Amino acid sequence: MEEFKRVLRKEFKLAARSGYEVFMPIMYLFLIIIFFNISTSYISKKITLELVPQMIWLSCLLVCILNLEAIFREDFEDGSLDYFLTADVNHESQIIAKILSHWSLTVLPVVIASPFISLLLGINIETSLVLFLSLLIGTPSLSLIGSIIAAITLTLKRGKVLLSIIVLPMFVPILIFGSSAVNNSMLKINYDSELLLLGIVFFIFLLISPFACLKSLKVSLD
């Protein structure tokens, strides 16, 4: 547990030093909203409202992908990753801490802002809360899945491009489940099954990701 806390503190301190990186996810979200409003200015309001949840979900997906490579990159470049893999420590807990810090610093700000933005764009309170809940349950899976691919492509040339190509299709089911839950809420249809599926995916990858990342890192650095 102490190792877990130590890694979290380290990641948050590094983010605080850079300063602007903490605000980048929200800046990305507002840029996407601006372009979304421009592109939908000639579409009826009803259709625009139906597209808002998908737009916010896509924003989370894009923000997550943009920062996935950074999960292990800095430790790899300064050599601390080699020490970490050979040290007698709880590797899995430290990997989970790195994944959690990635999600907290990149995706969580967008998740927190999402219900307020959807309300401003005309979505009702109930649907905005369902949107928030679906993002809160579903988006951690993006970081968990992405971390495995980030570990696999860590030492490859143009690894960031390859990382994006690989993770996009893997993120699609989560995007579908999340968007379906919000759409069902808008249509006054039960959305429990979609939220349950998001929860199951999260639980599965929470168990798999630490071990898969550790194995992938060892293979990548061999």
Query: Whole-angstrom Cα distance, residue 148 to residue 209?
Result: 6
Minimal CA–CA distance to 11: which of 87, 62, 74, 82? Answer: 74
The pTM of the full predicted model, rounded to 2 decimals, is 0.87
If one compares 180 and 220, the residue with the highest pLDDT of the two is 180
Query: Whole-angstrom Cα distance, residue 219 to residue 49?
Result: 46
pLDDT at 109: 86
pLDDT (tens digit per residue) in 150-202: 888 887 777 778 888 888 889 999 999 998 999 888 888 898 999 999 999 99
If one compares 210 and 13, the residue with the highest pLDDT of the two is 210
Query: Whole-angstrom Cα distance, residue 58 to residue 7?
Result: 29
pLDDT (tens digit per residue) in 103-154: 888 888 889 988 888 888 888 899 999 999 999 999 999 999 999 998 888 8
pLDDT (tens digit per residue) in 58-103: 888 888 888 788 778 777 777 777 777 777 677 788 888 888 888 8
Question: Within 10 Å of residue 145's Cβ, how many Cβ atoms?
Answer: 23
pLDDT at 122: 81
pLDDT for 41 beyond 70: no
